[in-house]
Structure 1
Amino acid sequence: MLIPTLTTERLILRAPEARDIAPFAAFYASERSHFVGGPLTAEGSWRMLAMEIGHWTLKGFGRWIAETRNTGEAVGLIGLFEPEGWPEPEIGWDLFNGFEGKGYATEAGHAARAYAYDILGWPTAISLVKPGNDGSAAVAKRLGAYPDGSITHERHGPMYVYRHPAPVELADGGIEAYS
């Protein structure tokens, strides 16, 4: 599976690789990961990274490692997600420790959504946000998503559903996101 590379003004969204094990493990070992299934041991975070890579093969899309264009530092995992048990395709973001509050999730979220709509032809998308994850809810709102109910996932528990505007409602799509 060839995973496409996307670029934004400040970020490169690229395939997850073995070099991402250390930042992945640091994030999933931290309390910051509790909204997305953590904290995890090093073995658990390795399995999580393997799942992210395998998602591309199983679904034909997935989440990218976002890295800064100027330093190459991995800032998080952002992109498209629909594992077993998810209600519908999601645009999701997990920012690694120290990279929150810089607009990276919103910037990469725009590129991921444009890819989902323009290349994959998705008619809609959601973002799932756990109660109390105010930062993630703010990103969803900055992307134009609005509250659209809630679900209870068998492993993650209650989550709010944020509905993204449909492709025809957006002016930010376009192939320029993948240059």
Structure 2
Amino acid sequence: MTPHLADTPVLETERLTLRAPVLADADNFVAFYGSERSTHVGGPLTPRAAWNFFATELGHWALRGFGMFSAVPKGSETAIAMVGHWQPVDWPEREVGWLVLDPDCEGKGIAHEAARACVDHAYRVLGWDTVVSYIDPRNARSIALARRLGAQRDDDATPPMRREADLPAALVFRHPVPGAA
């Protein structure tokens, strides 16, 4: 028997299914966090630390009732990204975040498509009154994505604490309510 997150919603976009993470997604997650591509999101990590972080992703759903979805292309079972809702215990606000696990999927609008669906879900289904994304100031691609999603930098917001003293504080981008002017 393979346990799963039975109450996790499934979101559909034009090209993607956003579903609960499953064990088969761990390999791509661990590979991403073992690479230099994870630098702006706390990596690189050892395989064990990445595995523990993947387990945290699943536990977040159970503890908060929301979490990061595995983004899979329609007709596939392979997770190419993790996108969704996130708020660890020390996060000042609830976030929508994204990780493109498969390097061949970067620059193809995957994170944009999935994040747009997650922001919409946060406002319309979860009932959040605000949504932020915390982004490493050196991560130009994520900053560009946040802006493409319509998010504006909020320099008055409190960023999460960085555990690594040598890293700059995250920038806070606040997302507009979908359909708002």
TM-score past 0.5 threshold = yes
Aligned equivalent of 1:128, options 110, 127, 134: 134
The gaps in structure 2 that reach 5 residues or longer are: none
Deviation at 1:154, TM superposition (A): 3.3
**2:171 equivalent to 1:160:** yes
Name the % identity: 45
Q: Which runs of 4+ in 1 moved over 6 A?
A: none
Equivalent residue of 2:54, what SS?
Answer: helix
The answer to whether the Cα contact below 8 Å between 2:91 and 2:160 also exists between their aligned partners in 1 is: no
Equivalent residue of 2:137, what SS?
Answer: coil
The answer to whether the Cα contact below 8 Å between 1:10 and 1:70 also exists between their aligned partners in 2 is: no
The answer to whether the Cα contact below 8 Å between 1:13 and 1:64 also exists between their aligned partners in 2 is: yes
1:75-114 alpha-carbon deviations (Å, 9 max, x no partner): 1100001111111010100111222100011100111111
- 2:150 corresponds in structure 1 to 144
Query: Is the deviation greater in 55-64 or in 149-158?
Result: 149-158
The gaps in structure 1 that reach 5 residues or longer are: 171-179
The TM-score, its normalising length taken from structure 2, stands at: 0.88
- 2:16 corresponds in structure 1 to 11
Amino acid at match of 1:53: L
Q: CA RMSD in A?
A: 1.6
Query: For residues 152 and 47 of structure 1, what CA distance do their matches in structure 2 show?
Result: 21
The TM-score, its normalising length taken from structure 1, stands at: 0.89
* Aligned residue-pair number: 170
Change (3 A) 1:33 1:11: same
1:100-148 alpha-carbon deviations (Å, 9 max, x no partner): 1000111001111111111111111000110110110111011100110
Aligned equivalent of 1:82, options 82, 87, 90: 87
- 1:20 corresponds in structure 2 to 25
Larger relative contact order, structure 1 or 2 (CA cutoff 8 Å, min sep 6) = 1
Query: Structure 1 or 2: larger strand share?
Result: 1
